[in-house]
Amino acid sequence: MTSPLSALSASHPLLDGRTSDSPLVRAARGDRPATPPVWFMRQAGRSLPEYRASRAGTEMLDACLTPDLAAEITLQPVRRHGVDAAVFFSDIVIPVLLAGVGVRIVAGRGPVLDEPIRTASDVLRLRPVEPEALAPITDAVSIVVRELGDTPLVGFGGAPYTLASYLIEGGPSKDQLRARAMMRTDPRTWATLLNWCADVTGAFLRAQVEAGASVVQLFDSWAGSLSRTDYQRRVAPHSRRAFDALRGFEVPKIHFGLGMGEMLDLLPPLGADVIGIDWRLPLDEANDRLGGRLPLQGNIDPAFLTGPWNLVEAHVRDVVARGAAAPAHIVNLGHGVPPETDPEVLTRIVELVHDL
């Protein structure tokens, strides 16, 4: 049974009252709870000893597709740090894998494709992700949501450009030369590929929401490699298509991209309710560039996390003070948690933010 106002099930945490009044959801909708909510990108794993113990002997993508294990890893940072949200433990290439594309996670490098996608015929061979293939995702999300109670789960997906970059380059790339070359030399194949990426990410996001995620975030790790014009003409419409997969689902949406300070004004029309800001741009300046219209997320510099506590504390206080300029503020990092981070520092940051 669904609400007449939403495609969400009546038992969804946003509709049955579990998470609708949580600090994260309130902030994402433009409200200001008594203290700003805080969570960390890549908080599920990497720096946690319990994560390393849980994943011992299990490949990354296998862990993502084992519901009990993925759920356990998702919950670990909530138990340890007391953050205001869990973020689903998975990987942005999971929907690509579930659609039948051969991809592996190589330690120290990241996602690597067995056969990169570089021609029109390669793109035409791509198939959609079938609903039944997403069962491990919905099973894991359902387990997490039952355990979280009134703490919201953040679902996530990779933005089409970032997915396309991995597909074309065959793995991580600093400059995305092959991807940008296809964009310019074969725009029709490029558009077809990015539509496919938008659709598999959209299906991935939708599966998480239907299973109980209360917020979603679209990650665009490589968009900062683009010119403003290329992003606006050749990429932004596909990010909007990914968000459009959630049309009718009244869930707050966050858009985070690295190196997009000069393109922030292009993001609001794409469908997000919150704009994530990386560490490069102060939040009060980001708010000015966005015309004070949207809540912001961010933007603690991860480089501070290994420094002495007095520097960390001063930086966090400054971030929160600058975030007060925005309509609402979700405290987060300006990128992910570095694996060498002492987990105690993250716990102290959460306590500090909640005490401010």
Q: Choose, from 91, 199, 273, 278, the residue flagged as catalytic.
A: 91
Assign 29 to helix, strand or coil. coil
What residues contact 227, with CB distance under 8 A and at least 6 apart? none
- CA nearest neighbour of 70 among 57, 46, 51: 51
Of 42, 80, 234, 241, the catalytic one is 42
> How far, in whole angstroms, is CA 223 from its chain's centroid?
14
| Catalytic annotation, pick one of 166, 220, 241, 278 | 166
Query: How many alpha carbons fall within 13 Å on the CB side of residue 94?
Result: 29
Residues in a beta bridge with 38: 331
Candidates 18, 26, 51, 55; catalytic one: 55
Percent helix, strand, coil in the chain, to 5, is: 50, 10, 40
Active site residue 125: no
Active site includes 161? no
Q: Please confirm, yes or no, whether 42 is among the known catalytic residues.
A: yes
Active site residue 55: yes
CA dist 62 and 172 (Å) reads 20
Among 46, 280, 289, 348, the active-site one is 46
Q: What is the DSSP string of 276-345?
A: E--TTS-HHHHHHHTTT-S-EEEEE-GGGGGS-HHHHHHHHHHHHHHHTTSS-EEEEESSPPPTT--HHH
Active site residues: 42, 46, 55, 91, 166
